A and B are shown apart, each in its own frame.
Chain A
Amino acid sequence: MASILKNWAGLTVEKAPPFDVRPWLRLETYWPMLRAIMWAWIGFFLGAWIEAVITWAFDGGNPIGNMIFTPRAMAVGYVFAVVGWFLGGGVLEGWLIPAITGDESWHDTSAIDGPAKFFRFSTDYKSSSVRYTVWVMFSFLVAGLFAMMIRVNLLFPRLFLFPSIESYNTFFSAHGIMMLLGVAAVGLIGGAGYWAVPLMLGSRTTAYPKVAGLSWWFQPIGFMAILLSPLVGGFQAGWMGFEPLGDWSGSGMVLYNLGAATMLLSSWVNGLIFVTSFIYMRTKGLSLSRVPIFVWGIFAASVLLLLFVPYSAVPVLMNLFDEVVGTNFFGPVGALPMAYQNMFWWLFHPEVYVFVLPAWALWLEIASVFSGRPVFAKNWAIAGLIAVAVISIGVGVHHYFTQVKPAEQALFMGVTETVSVPTGFMYLSLIGTLWGGKTRFFTPMLVVLMSAVTFLIGGFTGVFLSDVPANFMLHNTFFVIGHFHYTILGGFLFTFIAALYYYFPKVTGRMYSEFWGHVQAWIMFVAFQFTFFPMFLLGYMGMNRRIAIYLPYLQHLNDVASIASFILGGSFFIALFNFIYSAMFGPKAPENPWGAKTIDWQVPSTVYKAEFQRIPVVTGDFYDPDAKPEDIVKWVDPEWVSQQKTGETGGAH
């Protein structure tokens, strides 16, 4: 008989069976991933040597020595590495051979249960979600360690930790691009999105499940290219890879371009999958007005990705061509280096909203569940999401106000400040949802409120930066650093952490520790403010961004920021240990601990193996506070099961 317990927050939980560690100790669990790593390295050296030998045949030189680290050899090697990585990870058996032979038996997922399904190419969107989530946590750890190194260096107004300014440049550049493309761009869309969106749509798969399964595999190889770039000289051009600065970075810049393009491709595939799934994969009765708000958030972000990833990926590839084959798009002489910025920001300002649109939508989803109230003015909130997505297309120029004509400055200042109007819809919707409700402050709800407060500060400081006169004073200072950390970490990262707590019981079937969840949330919130608020002051006091050496009068605020950042970094380890310990030893969670009504909570925990066997038909509003889940979703037999029951045959097969 299961023993009933109450956890720290008063939630009823059951004692869970012990964690089975045995499948985690078997080599075959990890084999496809290990093979992928092996084949990627083999592919890299094979490709680089092939290029080196061909170059040697035409131009002479030593093909075995340094020639495999030339920009062109690195590029060819990387392409071979990507192919090896994909094939080794399971694309060979999971896609290529079945495409040729028509035998798809590799996909017999009933034979691959347990942890093994996380370490191979798979069409199961839920294992993609887990892969994304774990990878994003790893990327965050690595990029976060880079940030810690930067903060250690800034404890003193001189070059302290890094051996040279060039290595400092490489580390802050890599920190930026890894955080943006490896964490923020895919954390909520890849992690929460792949988990919740198909389930919320009532679909057991995404549109094009193999393409969806492939999207995660772009991430690690791109990330590793950037991570390894310091070994071949790193890159000095900031996270944006600005030209003509990149021209001085050699092979490290090539790895940046290849890695960034690959990670952008992963985001583009996600955009493609979620747009097509949203349009084509909704279950019966799920009209657009009934689609959960989180799905709308993912959809709005996905449209941006689909349209504008190419606008950034193409200049990155042009940059690569400049490095590798000798084109001259962005060189300092005879080219248009400013065009890189112009093209690059077509995506990368909308990209900021790719990070936060799903976050805002999840705020409303979580607020509605924990306050027991419908999403206030849901249609206005959806309009806000779409309007922000549309307006964000035309604001990229505010990143380089200092380099455009006054008439353009006024125009883009106006458009930029317009974004705050539909953003206000989200806040009004959040306040209206919570207003009058009996809010239960479980960790996800608490972190969502912290996210809303933090993002608000980021938003207010954004108004300063969108204002041209203020921008001229604050451009490229630490004020900008403070602003975008408040928006991206406050908006995206806090919500990502809220999503981890929110979906943890459904994904693992176990309950995390509420006590440690609250402890972590408060430490993170307070340390965050002490880390990034001083940066606004530093910016006002004249501290430029991207510098390793600063004037001594700025040291005291830098020390506050650095010490707080170490505490902030430590707070994430509390969450990590909470998740790992709870996943292994936590009590059994109820199937729907929060009382949510969307379909993702109407399926059993843990929903992996056979998915739902019956079709959900939506007959009501997910946010109706008076309706029970069974009133909103009816589960019916598939048509072919009904036919079999009535004695009809299914047809040709």
Chain B
Amino acid sequence: MATEHNLGPIGKLGNGYRQESPYVIDDAPPRVKRSAFFAIVLAQLMWWMPLLWARFLYAPYEHVSGVNYFVWSLAGFIALASAVQAFRILGAAREGRFTALGSLLKTQAILGAAVCGVIIGGWATSGLAIDTPMGSNFYFFSAAVAFFFLLSTLGEAIHALRAGSRWGAGYDATSVWRVENGAYFWLWNCLWMFVFYAIFFWL
């Protein structure tokens, strides 16, 4: 943030870092919050490793069959569009265009809801038996993808509400890290959706 270092503290309890409100005891500067979030995102890797392992342990030589390729492709395309939107959000945050965030985030939340909805549609129209090794893995992995997209969508919906709120809260240079983190997490989810396609449809 170009202007971040110019901002001073508010509230009597600051220790040199600007407080986000007069009430919160929150010493971590945005730099720390961004860096710590990197650790959080990196740590998410470990939730996926057992799933990768299970995929190749349970059904090593099998391929997915009996699924609705159109619906699953549609979910992928929407996820791809949402990744582009995440980059646009990051750009707006970086350039300080905070008023533009509201509409960008709203679109992102809609795209996220669409991804989740289409995944549910994919489950409903798939003929792959759930109690087979491949079926168990396929549905569990896709449920994990949907769950993480759902979390992200709820987060972006909250960000969108705040960005365009009638309370006038919005975002500024020191609070926009929340939006940034949400966008990075979104991209992380898109990456795992890509992995999902790679290990079930291509390998």
Q: Which residues of A contact B (CB under 8 A)?
A: 96, 99-109, 123-124, 203-205, 207-209, 271-272, 275-276, 279-281, 306-311, 313-315, 318, 321, 325-329, 331, 334-336, 339, 343, 346, 610-611, 613, 615, 638-640, 643, 649-653
> How far, in angstroms, from A123 to B21 measured CA to CA in the complex?
14
Q: How far is the CB of B116 from chain A (nearest CB, A)?
A: 15
Contact of A204 among B25, B139, B161, B162 (CB under 8 A): B25
* Residues of A contacting B43 in the complex (Cβ-Cβ under 8 angstroms): 271-272, 275, 306-307
B3-47, CB under 8 A of A: which get 1 and which 0?
Answer: 100111110011110101101111110001101100110010011
Given A102-B162, A205-B25, A639-B16, residue A343 in contact with residue B50 (CB < 8 A): yes
**Beta-carbon contact of A100 and B33 below 8 Å:** no
* Residues of A contacting B16 in the complex (Cβ-Cβ under 8 angstroms): 615, 638-640
Given A275-B39, A280-B28, A310-B46, residue A327 in contact with residue B23 (CB < 8 A): no
> How far, in angstroms, from A252 to B102 measured CA to CA in the complex?
45
Contact of B23 among A107, A326, A339, A346 (CB under 8 A): A107
Given A100-B165, A326-B130, A652-B6, residue A105 in contact with residue B23 (CB < 8 A): yes
Instruction: Name the residue on B nearest A205 (C-beta).
Output: B27
Given A205-B28, A329-B58, A651-B8, residue A104 in contact with residue B39 (CB < 8 A): no
* Residues of A contacting B178 in the complex (Cβ-Cβ under 8 angstroms): 99
Q: How far is the CB of A364 from chain B (nearest CB, A)?
A: 27
Q: How far is the CB of B17 from chain A (nearest CB, A)?
A: 8
* Residues of A contacting B33 in the complex (Cβ-Cβ under 8 angstroms): 207-208
- Please name 12 pairs of A and B residues whose Cβ atoms are closer than 8 Å in the assembled complex, sorted by A: A100-B162, A107-B25, A123-B24, A123-B26, A205-B25, A207-B36, A310-B49, A339-B58, A638-B16, A651-B8, A651-B18, A652-B3
> How far, in angstroms, from A91 to B177 measured CA to CA in the complex?
21
**Beta-carbon contact of A651 and B6 below 8 Å:** yes
> How far, in angstroms, from A81 to B7 measured CA to CA in the complex?
42
Instruction: Name the residue on B nearest A336 (C-beta).
Output: B58
**Beta-carbon contact of B162 and A640 below 8 Å:** no
* Residues of A contacting B50 in the complex (Cβ-Cβ under 8 angstroms): 310-311, 314-315, 343, 346
Question: Is B140's beta carbon under 8 Å from chain A?
Answer: yes
Q: Counting chain A CB atoms within 10 Å of each CB, which of B26, B46, B47 scores highest?
A: B46
Question: Is B135's beta carbon under 8 Å from chain A?
Answer: yes
Instruction: Name the residue on B nearest A640 (C-beta).
Output: B9
* Residues of A contacting B8 in the complex (Cβ-Cβ under 8 angstroms): 640, 643, 649-653
10 nearest A-B residue pairs (beta carbon): A650-B8, A102-B169, A651-B8, A327-B136, A639-B16, A276-B36, A314-B50, A328-B131, A310-B46, A638-B15
**Beta-carbon contact of A613 and B13 below 8 Å:** yes
Q: How far is the CB of B119 from chain A (nearest CB, A)?
A: 14
Given A280-B36, A653-B8, residue A325 in contact with residue B130 (CB < 8 A): yes
Question: Is B61's beta carbon under 8 Å from chain A?
Answer: no
**Beta-carbon contact of B46 and A638 below 8 Å:** no
Contact of B133 among A96, A102, A335, A649 (CB under 8 A): A335
Instruction: Name the residue on B nearest A649 (C-beta).
Output: B8
Given A336-B57, A339-B54, A649-B8, residue A104 in contact with residue B23 (CB < 8 A): yes
Q: How far is the CB of B138 from chain A (nearest CB, A)?
A: 10
> How far, in angstroms, from A208 to B136 measured CA to CA in the complex?
35
Range for the number of chain B residues in contact with chain A: 35 or more
Contact of B51 among A106, A314, A652 (CB under 8 A): A314
**Beta-carbon contact of A101 and B162 below 8 Å:** yes
**Beta-carbon contact of A327 and B131 below 8 Å:** yes
**Beta-carbon contact of B40 and A209 below 8 Å:** no
Contact of B47 among A314, A315, A615 (CB under 8 A): A314
* Residues of A contacting B139 in the complex (Cβ-Cβ under 8 angstroms): 321, 325, 327
Contacts across chains A and B counted by CB atoms under 8 Å:
177
Q: How far is the CB of A652 from chain B (nearest CB, A)?
A: 5
Contacting A at CB under 8 A, from B54-110, are 54, 57-58
* Interface contacts beyond A99-B178, A207-B32: sample of 6 additional A-B pairs, CB < 8 Å, sorted by A: A100-B158, A205-B26, A209-B25, A280-B32, A306-B43, A334-B133
**Beta-carbon contact of A610 and B13 below 8 Å:** yes
Q: How far is the CB of B121 from chain A (nearest CB, A)?
A: 17
> How far, in angstroms, from A647 to B165 measured CA to CA in the complex?
36
Instruction: Name the residue on A nearest B170 (C-beta).
Output: A102
**Beta-carbon contact of B135 and A327 below 8 Å:** yes
**Beta-carbon contact of A611 and B25 below 8 Å:** yes
Instruction: Name the residue on B nearest A648 (C-beta).
Output: B8
**Beta-carbon contact of B131 and A326 below 8 Å:** yes
* Residues of A contacting B130 in the complex (Cβ-Cβ under 8 angstroms): 325-328
Instruction: Name the residue on B nearest A339 (C-beta).
Output: B57
**Beta-carbon contact of B25 and A123 below 8 Å:** yes
**Beta-carbon contact of B46 and A306 below 8 Å:** yes
Q: How far is the CB of B153 from chain A (nearest CB, A)?
A: 14
Instruction: Name the residue on B nearest A101 (C-beta).
Output: B167
Q: How far is the CB of B151 from chain A (nearest CB, A)?
A: 13
Instruction: Name the residue on B nearest A327 (C-beta).
Output: B136
Q: Counting chain A CB atoms within 10 Å of each CB, which of B24, B158, B159 scores highest?
A: B24
Given A102-B167, A334-B131, residue A96 in contact with residue B27 (CB < 8 A): no
**Beta-carbon contact of A653 and B136 below 8 Å:** no
Instruction: Name the residue on A nearest B135 (C-beta).
Output: A327
**Beta-carbon contact of A104 and B47 below 8 Å:** no
Q: How far is the CB of B146 from chain A (nearest CB, A)?
A: 13
Q: How far is the CB of B55 from chain A (nearest CB, A)?
A: 11
Q: Counting chain B CB atoms within 10 Å of each CB, which of A105, A208, A272, A335 scores highest?
A: A208
Question: Is B125's beta carbon under 8 Å from chain A?
Answer: no
* Residues of B contacting A100 in the complex (Cβ-Cβ under 8 angstroms): 158, 161-162, 165, 169
**Beta-carbon contact of A281 and B28 below 8 Å:** yes
Contact of B140 among A104, A107, A321 (CB under 8 A): A321
Instruction: Name the residue on B nearest A105 (C-beta).
Output: B23
Instruction: Name the residue on A nearest B136 (C-beta).
Output: A327
Contact of A281 among B32, B132, B158 (CB under 8 A): B32
Instruction: Name the residue on A nearest B42 (C-beta).
Output: A306
**Beta-carbon contact of B57 and A104 below 8 Å:** no
* Residues of A contacting B13 in the complex (Cβ-Cβ under 8 angstroms): 204, 610-611, 613
